[in-house]
Amino acid sequence: MKSKLLKNCKILEDGNLVERHILLEDHKIAYISEEIITADEVIDIKGNIVIPGLIDGHVHFREPGMAHKEDFLSGSIAASKGGVTTIIDMPNTIPPTITVQNLEEKRKLAEKSIVNYGFHFGSTTTNLPEIKNAKNIASVKIFLNVSTGNLRIENSETIEAIMNEAKLCTIHGEEENLTKAIGIAQKLKKKFYACHICLESEIKEIRKNKKHVYCEVTPHHLFLTEKDKEKLGKLADVKPSLKTDKDREALWKALQSGIVDTIATDHAPHKKEEKLESEKSGLPGVETMLPLLLDAVNKNRLTLQQVIDLTSKNPAKIFRIKNKGVLKEGYDADLTVIDMDLDKEVTSDKLLTKTKWSPFEGKVLKGWPITTIVNGNIVYDHGNIYEIRSKEIKYEKPKPSFGRKKEENQEPTEEKEENTEKQETTEEKQQETEETKEKDKEAIQEQPKENQNQESQSNEKGDKNE
């Protein structure tokens, strides 16, 4: 790629906004400078704030099997508009991602994505051999609650076997199922990733067992409650369901006290007609998460640093995503430019997801992403989409200290984690160089593309729950 200088940026440094110029070279952040330096191309950021691109660790982009609701192109276009530069897709597609072959097929479909992408692998009562052979995955997802097809697992021994095998498990476990998962994690001395936590009681449970649980919350549980069902009707159906005001306040307190590690969208689109016709759980969210959070920053409910940590730094760390999540020299040039003063209403006609509706329709939010850069390429800029193919994320090797049965007495400590990170750096650098060389098949088409709405309406059975 040509080198690009983003001039007149503001970035957060030790909690303060400072003026800097950012040089992008070879798809990386090459240099962060106080002086203007030369580059092939200079882009004036006009004093707006640049943050690390968001990493949404929980989306359902619906391919294969339900591409009329979303696909990797439409979903990634929506993500780019929402300032999201990396997504990790969930396995409950049709067919579900529960074999190595299914994973390889999904990998091919995802090549059209314009934001970076990764995959969670599904688990069943019988697919442990496939889990062992699945390469380059973010986690193994276990559904302890009702979900697509036969992916729900109830047997504790099976769950234990999966958790023991997987480097990391993401778990849909509500209430007593969360307790069950925690019990197994305690026994194995493992830490798992609890998806969409939304009840005060669940927060209490996690607080007691924090060393075994990474905690994710969604924007819809932070910004909507069961009262919104009155207005939204069936459109508000989601799993887990919208909760009470008291639960919502508990989530906000948990954000402040550090119990919550990540905010992820659980972007699970259905067409509006489908939601109204029958029971379909799931809400779109990948386009609206960042504006909702920036609006909360403007209202002093969160700091910008918290938003960065919860949506970029922490997911990169938890899923061990290589070279992302931080705005620093040497890291991948995945960046989001935000305008904290921009006031805009969420309106369905402006949405780029195939679903074309939002539970936040009509909300006026202050603070929006205006430009999104993925691997050094501008993919979204003030309403324009540039369809430049992105790439699959890579993961660091698991840290040796925690989770293996044979090392039962070891507890995780920040110190140990940091040391391991340092050791891995050299190896990573070598791999990175090779990856950079192999890159650069960039087909640029300049034009916000109309989404293809006409795909078949088949395969309706498996998509009820997320």
Please enumerate in sequence order all residues whose Cβ is within 8 A of that of 8, keeping only pairs 6 or more positions apart, or say none.
19, 21, 44, 45, 46, 47
**Does 89 interact with Zn ion (rule: CB under 5 A)?**
no
**Shortest distance, position 196 Cβ to Zn ion, whole Å:** 7
Residues 355, 273: Cα–Cα separation, whole Å: 9
Please enumerate in sequence order all residues whose Cβ is within 8 A of that of 228, keeping only pairs 6 or more positions apart, or say none.
236, 242, 359
Q: Name the residue whose CB lies closest to Zn ion.
A: 466
Residues 405, 304: Cα–Cα separation, whole Å: 39
Binding part of the chain for Zn ion, among 15-23, 259-267, 293-301, 448-456 by CB under 5 A, reads 259-267
How many C-alpha atoms does 79 have within 13 Å on its Cβ side? 39
Task: Pick the closer one to Zn ion by CB: 130 or 266.
Answer: 266
**Shortest distance, position 172 Cβ to Zn ion, whole Å:** 7
**Shortest distance, position 214 Cβ to Zn ion, whole Å:** 15
**Shortest distance, position 148 Cβ to Zn ion, whole Å:** 10
Residues 207, 86: Cα–Cα separation, whole Å: 28
**Does 463 interact with Zn ion (rule: CB under 5 A)?**
no
**Shortest distance, position 460 Cβ to Zn ion, whole Å:** 18
**Shortest distance, position 276 Cβ to Zn ion, whole Å:** 21
266 given a catalytic annotation = yes
Task: Pick the closer one to Zn ion by CB: 283 or 385.
Answer: 283
Phi, psi (degrees; rounded to nearest 5) at 22: -120, 120
Task: Pick the closer one to Zn ion by CB: 10 or 62.
Answer: 62
Out of 130, 216, 237, 266, name the contact with Zn ion by CB under 5 A: 266
* Parallel, antiparallel or unpaired: strands 262-263 and 335-345: unpaired
Helices (H), 134-217: 156-165, 176-188, 200-208
Residue that has been written with the tokens 């006609």 in this structure: 349
Residues 208, 66: Cα–Cα separation, whole Å: 39
Out of 25, 71, 463, 466, name the contact with Zn ion by CB under 5 A: 466
Binding part of the chain for Zn ion, among 121-129, 344-352, 438-446, 458-466 by CB under 5 A, reads 458-466
Strands (E), 90-132: 116-122
Looking at 237, 247, 266, 309, which residue is catalytic?
Answer: 266
Q: Is the dihedral of CA 111, 112, 117, 122 positive or negative?
A: negative
Task: Pick the closer one to Zn ion by CB: 12 or 59.
Answer: 59
Residues 338, 115: Cα–Cα separation, whole Å: 17
Task: Pick the closer one to Zn ion by CB: 24 or 251.
Answer: 251
Task: Pick the closer one to Zn ion by CB: 220 or 320.
Answer: 220
- DSSP, collapsed to helix, strand or coil, labels residue 207 as helix
Binding part of the chain for Zn ion, among 125-133, 148-156, 261-269, 320-328 by CB under 5 A, reads 261-269
Binding part of the chain for Zn ion, among 184-192, 219-227, 260-268, 414-422 by CB under 5 A, reads 260-268
Residues that bind Zn ion (CB under 5 A): 266, 466
The residues annotated as belonging to the active site are: 266
